[in-house]
A and B are shown apart, each in its own frame.
Chain A
Amino acid sequence: MSGQTDMALLQVTDLVKTYGTGEAATRVLRGLSLTLEAGEMAALLGPSGSGKSTLLTILGTLMQPTSGTFTMLGQDLLASTDAELTAFRNLHIGFVFQFHNLLPDFTALENVIFPTAVKEGRETAAARARGRDLLTRMGLANRIDFPSTNLSGGQKQRVAVARALMNRPELVLADEPTGNLDRGSAAQVMDLIGQINREERTTFLISTHDEKIAGLCGRQIVVGDGVVTG
């Protein structure tokens, strides 16, 4: 057990999250425990309201649980300050949202290099080179300087994947990354995610309702009623 913990990228135990107080209190996570190993590509399955999004939000350090433990890369993330969590998130965690969430006033390249520019305080040539490389890998070499608002849905989502990978994070959290895409674009995005997982050993945790997408992942984690059920 000890050896397994040492190898784990992240571990949460007895995670509880309650929204509201008193009679209006809603317990979404009810003592959830989970371990993710480095290089894993896992699908997070479960019905709506089962707590998938809440779990992703907590793992992304965007929200604190009501109780439980959460360590990643050996760091106790529940004992960290907001500034420490922000820096940790920037360096070690990438996000891909269902609705891409690109910055509308920026080009594709500017969106991709945003996490690095924030970290370094400026847009460096090295960051731009990596951003171009990532966009080229995403099949967007001819869209690098396009305003993000001029891209199609599938293109936007690929830009979002590139942005999530920009700082070479150990973990990428994807919340329904293909939920808003047509079948062709969805397959393209999943191919890219799989390729990066294999080549760079980046850990992916992908929340999805789609059994086919889940089938592409090496592990399926099923959440039901606030705990891992399978």
Chain B
Amino acid sequence: MLYALKIAIRYLTASKAQTALLVAGVAVGVFIFIFMSALIGGLAEFIVSRTVGDISHITIQAENADPAILISNEGQILAVTERGGIRTATLANVTTWVPLIETVPGVIAVSPQITGAGFLTRGTQTAQVSVTGVEPGQESAILDLAGYIVAGSARLGSGSVVLGQSLADDLSLRLGQTVRLQSSAGVSSVLTISGIFRTGNGMLDDSSLYVSLPTARTLFALPQGVTRIEIKLRDLNAADATALRIRALTGLDATSWTSGAEQLMEALNAQAQTGYFLKTFALITIVIGVASALLLSTYRRRPEIGIMRAMGAGRGFVIFVFVTQGALIGLMGGLTGVILGYLALLPFPPRDAFQSGTLPLDITQGSYGLAITLTVIGAILASILPARSAARVDPVTAIGQ
């Protein structure tokens, strides 16, 4: 079939302008395919990193104990304690679990925390707040607190508090001022504002504050243990599998971020589906373009095909000539499109440096190999119809044309 390959190449080089246009058409389709792959992939990366990047990828919380029941000797239930909306159970053996979880592949940070509700008071003004106690030195392990600081420092010490800017504005608080924090456990403490942050997330900025773990222990009367362990992963897409692994390793109730983000996942899936549709249409355009051009070529070369058949070229030979042309067009167009696509994506910032207001194009998600493979396969499929048409040419009528 080496000779059929030679003829295919000869036909392509004999009509240089037509071949160049055809290759350019395929290249544009491949370019769109790559651009869409990079955009959809980058957009998903951007959205996830913006929405999920600053939250715990896996969270472990202690199971609340069943409500206490008072039963009479006759077996009648006399009283049942009401289950509270806030988890009150604690993870007592935190010093055992944390080193174990840190050995799990993909885990980059483990943050034991005490969380709860409280009231922040400054003079006559009071605000309900969400309190998080973290280990000093681990303030930015999950949420990049240091990165969001607009005043002061994220560093937490004994008796210091870091709070959201909206909360500070509501209570007219400034750096260095003292505030009174009363926890839901009824314990009060006077704290000094050591830092103010702004994340852009209203819920955090309006009502969240951070204290050191020892301070939180005092506030919530928890001399040992924590209420939750937050875990950050290198790849947040591996959260489900890693959560299962941690659960199997420790027996704790490890929950992936995806279990509470069905709507986000649905949106990302819908976005991915849109990408698939657009890429499919780009491929269909390539297939139609190649098929129509080769059909035209088949028609134009009918007399030559007739001569070849008369000289002893079999139908298989003729099919191979035209399918090879399709494959070569696909390969050349695919390579050209991939090179152009890659060059076009080069100026955009990498995935780690996506910025708001710019297109989040991820050059690593261009699907270059897939683009070339699908294009060649598509072009081969597109050439089958013209090739079969060429093989059916009647030499007698074709030569007479």
Contacts and interface: CB of A to CB of B under 8 A. Distances in A.
Interface of A: 57, 60, 62-63, 82-83, 86-87, 89-91, 95, 97, 101-106, 114-115, 117-123, 163, 167
A58 B314 CA distance: 18
A175 to B, nearest CB: 10
A119 B304 CA distance: 17
Contact of B396 (A63, A87, A117): A63
Q: Interface residues of B toward A: which range? A: 20 to 34
Interface stretch (B3-11, B160-168, B222-230, B237-245): B3-11
B1 interface: yes
Contacts of A87: 312, 314
B182 to A, nearest CB: 91
A123 B2 CA distance: 9
Given A118-B317, A119-B312, 5 more contacts: A62-B310, A89-B312, A90-B311, A101-B310, A106-B10
B6 A118 contact: no
Interface string B364-401: 00000000000000000000000000000001100100
B12 to A, nearest CB: 10
A115 B312 contact: yes
A89 B396 CA distance: 14
Interface in B3-56: 3-4, 6, 10-11, 14
B1 A115 contact: no
21 contacts: A63-B396, A83-B314, A86-B315, A89-B310, A89-B311, A90-B313, A95-B311, A101-B303, A101-B307, A101-B399, A102-B307, A103-B304, A115-B312, A118-B308, A118-B317, A120-B3, A121-B3, A122-B2, A123-B3, A123-B6, A163-B311
B309 interface: yes
B396 A104 contact: no
A81 B11 CA distance: 29
A123 B1 CA distance: 11
A164 to B, nearest CB: 9
Ordered nearest first, which 5 A-B pairs have the shortest CB separation? Answer: A90-B312, A105-B14, A122-B2, A117-B3, A86-B314
B314 A105 contact: no
B307 A103 contact: yes
Contacts of B3: 117-118, 120-123
Interface in B296-343: 303-304, 307-315, 317
B365 to A, nearest CB: 42
A155 B6 CA distance: 25
A62 B1 CA distance: 23
Nearest to B1: A121
A115 B10 contact: no
Nearest to A169: B312
Contacts of A82: 315
B313 A118 contact: yes
Contacts of A57: 396
Contacts of B310: 60, 62, 89, 95, 101
Contacts of B6: 123
A105 B11 contact: yes
